[in-house]
Structure 1
Amino acid sequence: MLQIGILLIRHYKLLSLAAITDVLDTVNKIYYKNGEPAPFRITLVHTPETEHLAAAFPDYASQHTDAAGAFNLVLVPSFTTDDIRQSIIENRAYLPWMQQQYKNGAEIASFCTGAFLLGASGLLDGKIATTHVDACREFSVSFPAVNLLSDKTVTHDSGIYTSGGATSTFHLLLHLLEVHCGIEIAIKTAKIFAVDMGRDKQSYFSTFQPARNHHDDLVASAQQRIETSYQDVGTIEEMIRDIPSSRRNIVRRFKQVTGITPIEYLQFTRIEAAKKLLEQTGQQMAEVIFNSGYNDPKAFRKVFRKTVGMTPSEYREKFNAARS
């Protein structure tokens, strides 16, 4: 029987925790119905600060991080808060415990933004990982030693697993089932939860969310210029024509504040505009290309596919409201 410990972190996302327990319970029931012993023993792991959270889950055993005993698999659910850094501080008591469990041979899996707590433990340093697609930039800044694969749905490296956002939780759970129970159980569970096992990318779920919580007026001015003139401007010189600063200074400060260069910012702004046109209108592809600021269809399709992970036509087929 696989000993599974699920962390009762502060600010855990209920959907994440519910998905994890529901899938594991379902697999246990499959085995019971077949007259076989359950493959998983689920324990909720808490600290003194989170012990009260266990009362909401009376059907599961709970254990303090100071208690003796090792787990085969430790699961870290997603956070429900946007203040991830504060959440890590409030859950820092789990960090040495996770390090010790991994040292003792446990595998560790994080779901969505739970990767931030795993990243803070240092166990992801030098390894590949993923997280919610819209949290990737913050993750990269916080943990530069981690090889973040922002487009991946699931990663696995040296006994440590991570998943992308929201429904990617199910893809990681299915992957863990395949590893520990076999492909037949993974497929059976995928059918029960109506999960498409084939998805391995999440980049097309991304939304460009530029940094705004800064106080650099020069950068804010450049951002405003790009966002209002993305259909017309094409060079940095055009973007900063009336901004009282040198090109070199603007580029340096812009990247320092937003994490990307002005040209990359322009590209992401244009691609986001194209995505909205593909989602919400019936414009011909040539119109979409022109209205999002591109003149070269070949260049547009190349940049779109690289950024989004699929062609413009595939994106429209998947997300256009008129087709749903």
Structure 2
Amino acid sequence: MLQIGILLTRHYKLLSLAAITDVLDTVNKIYQKSDQPAPFKVTLLYTPDTAHLTSAFPAYPAQTLAEAGVFKLLLVPSFTADDLSQVLAENEAWLPWLRQQYKKGAELASFCTGAFLLAATGLLDGKIATTHVDACKEFTRAFPRVNLLSDKTVTHDAGIYTSGGATSTFHLLLHLLEIHCGIEVAVRTAKIFAIDMGRDKQSYFSTFQPTRNHHDDLVATAQLKIETCYQEAGTIEEMIKDIPSSRRNIVRRFKQVTGVTPIEYLQLTRIEAAKKLLEQTGQQMTEIIYNSGYNDPKAFRKVFRKTVGMTPSEYREKFNAVR
């Protein structure tokens, strides 16, 4: 029986924890119905300031960190809070304990933004990881030593697993089931929960969210110029030519503030506009290309696929609301 511990952290996301326990309980029942011993023993783990959370899950045994032995697998649910730096500060008690567990042979798995807690231990330094697509910028700033694969649904490196946003939780759980129970059980579970096992990328769920909480007026002016003129099939130099600063200075400050260069910002703005047109209109592809600021269909498709992870036609098929 695999000893699994689930962390009851401050600000954990209930939906994340519910998905984890539901899948594990379902697999246990599959085995029990076949007169086989349940493969998983699930224990909830808590710190002194999260003891009250255990009352919401009376079906599971619970232990403090001081009581807990060594687990085979530790699971970190996603977080609800927007301020993830504050979340980490409130969950510092877990960090030395997770390091000790890993050193003693435990495998670690995080779901969605739970990766921030694993990264804070230092155990992800030099390893691959993923997290929610819209949290990737913040993750990279906070943990530059981690090799973040933002487009991946699931990663596994040296006994540490991570998953992308929301429903990627199920893909990581299926991956763990395949390892510990075999592909047959993983497939059966996927059918029960109606999970598409083939998805290995999450980049097409991303939304470009420009950084605006800064006080650099020059960069703000450049951003406004790009966002206002992106439909014009001109160069970035033409768009920012009236800004009273050298190109070199604009590019340096722009990347420092937003994390991308002006030309990358323009491309992301145009692709986000194209995505919205693909989602919300019935425009022909040539119209979408033109209205997004492109005049070269081949270049548009190349940039779109590189940024989104699928072709424009595939994106429209998946997300178009106009049928």
Structure 1 and Structure 2 fold alike (TM over 0.5): yes
Measured in 2, the distance between the counterparts of 1:308 and 1:280 equals: 17
Q: Which residue of 2 aligns with 1:44?
A: 44
Deviation at 1:66, TM superposition (A): 1.5
Give CA-to-partner distance per residue, 1:285-313, whole Å, 9 cap, x none.
Answer: 00000000001000000000000000000
Q: Answer yes or no: is the 8 Å Cα contact 2:236–2:266 preserved in 1.
A: no
Q: Is the 8 A contact 1:4 1:41 kept in 2?
A: yes
SS of residue matched to 1:294: coil
Q: Is the 8 A contact 2:233 2:294 kept in 1?
A: no
Shift of 1:68: 4.2
Distance, in Å, in 2 between the alignment partners of 1:68 and 1:309 is: 42
Mapping 1:107-256, distance limit 5 Å: 107-232=107-232, 234-256=234-256
Q: Which amino acid aligns with 2:262?
A: P
Q: 1:298 aligns to what?
A: 298
Structure 1: gaps spanning 5 or more residues: none
Percent identity between the aligned chains? 81
Please give the secondary structure, in 2, of the residue aligned with 1:17: helix
* Alignment match, 2:35: 35
| Contact 1:233 1:239 (C-alpha < 8 Å) held by counterparts | no
User: 1:132 is matched by which residue type in structure 2?
Assistant: H
The answer for the alignment partner of 1:287 in structure 2 is 287
Alpha-carbon distance in structure 1 between the residues aligned to 2:239 and 2:99: 48
Q: Are the counterparts in 2 of residues 7 and 45 from structure 1 also a CA contact under 8 Å?
A: yes
How far residue 234 of structure 1 moved from its aligned partner, in angstroms, is: 3.0
Equivalent in the alignment of 2:13:
13
CA deviations over 1:15-73 (Å, ceiling 9, x no partner): 00000000000001111101011111101111111111111111111111122410000
Superposed CA deviations along residues 124-154 of structure 1, whole A, max 9, x for unmatched, are 1000000001111111111111111110000
Give the TM-score taking structure 1 as reference length. Answer: 0.98
What is the CA distance between 1:215 and its match in structure 2? 1.1
Aligned residue number for residue 310 of structure 2: 310
Q: SS of the counterpart of 2:294?
A: coil
Checking the alignment, whether the CA contact within 8 Å between 1:236 and 1:247 is kept in structure 2 is no
TM-score by length of 2: 0.99
User: What amino acid sits opposite 1:284 in the alignment?
Assistant: Q
Counterpart contact for 2:233–2:295, Cα < 8 Å: no
For 1:213 and 1:3, locate their aligned partners in 2 and report how far apart those are by CA, in whole Å. Answer: 44
Flag the 1:295–1:3 CA change in 2: closer, same or farther, 3 A.
same
Asked if 1:78 corresponds to 2:78, the answer is yes
Show structure 2 runs of 5+ residues with no match. none
Q: Which amino acid aligns with 1:281?
A: T
Q: Which amino acid aligns with 1:93?
A: A
Alpha-carbon RMSD: 0.8
